[in-house]
Amino acid sequence: MKNNKMIVIVTILVAILIIGVIVLCVYKGKNKEKTGDNNKESTQNVELGEFEQINDDGIKVNVSSKLNEEKTFNGLKISNIKLSENNGETVLLADVENVSGNKTEDFTTIDVRFIDKEGNELGTLTGLIKPLEVNEKTELNASITTDLANSYDFEILEHVDE
């Protein structure tokens, strides 16, 4: 009789333990779903400027046609321009081609000055372009820890050490 009571008590305790584990797993799963939805809503509720959109992955990208126009600086053609912002860091990506007819001997340090529609400066970042053979291409990848994604355009200037 005592053995039967012990078996019943152990069975009840095991059943309670299994139910507890199932409830805990279901609760954690629902909590993760809510957290994911909240993150999606927070990126969707970001106030966007005139020249910004949010990609599916939550990255803010610049859509200004003026900013994306091909530019030339000292015989270097800058094209395929992409400007994005993620977690407070703005990244400028662009293709660079040496169309000068001469090999560039040294690294080229440039300042990229971002402007709004009225021509006011929003910020400047510094970029570095490796030496290039004639017609050689490379990628410019420069970043700054501020949000410049709503820029209307940019100009490339020769970098001046201060």
Q: Please state the domain extents for the chain.
A: 1-45, 52-158
CA-wise closest residue to 94 among 130, 68, 73: 68
Give the model's confidence band at 105: pLDDT under 50 very low, under 70 low, under 90 confident, else very high: confident
CA-wise closest residue to 117 among 49, 55, 59, 69: 49
**What does the pLDDT read at residue 79?**
95
pLDDT > 90 in the chain, percent: 59
Average pLDDT over residues 138-150: 92
Higher pLDDT, 101 or 31: 101
- One DSSP character per residue, 49-77 reads -TTEEE-TTS-EEE--TTTTS-EEETTEE
Distance separating alpha carbons of residues 146 and 50, to the nearest angstrom: 18
Average pLDDT over residues 94-102: 94
Residue 42 · residue 34 · CB < 8 Å? no
Q: Which amino acid is at 146?
A: T
Q: Whole-model pTM?
A: 0.69
Strands 121-129 and 153-158: unpaired
Average pLDDT over residues 98-118: 92
Q: CATH top-level class for 52-158? A: mainly beta
Burial of residue 110, with CB atoms counted within 10 A of its CB: 0-12 exposed, 13-18 middle, 19 or more buried? buried
35 pLDDT above the threshold of 50: no
41 pLDDT above the threshold of 50: no
**What does the pLDDT read at residue 74?**
92
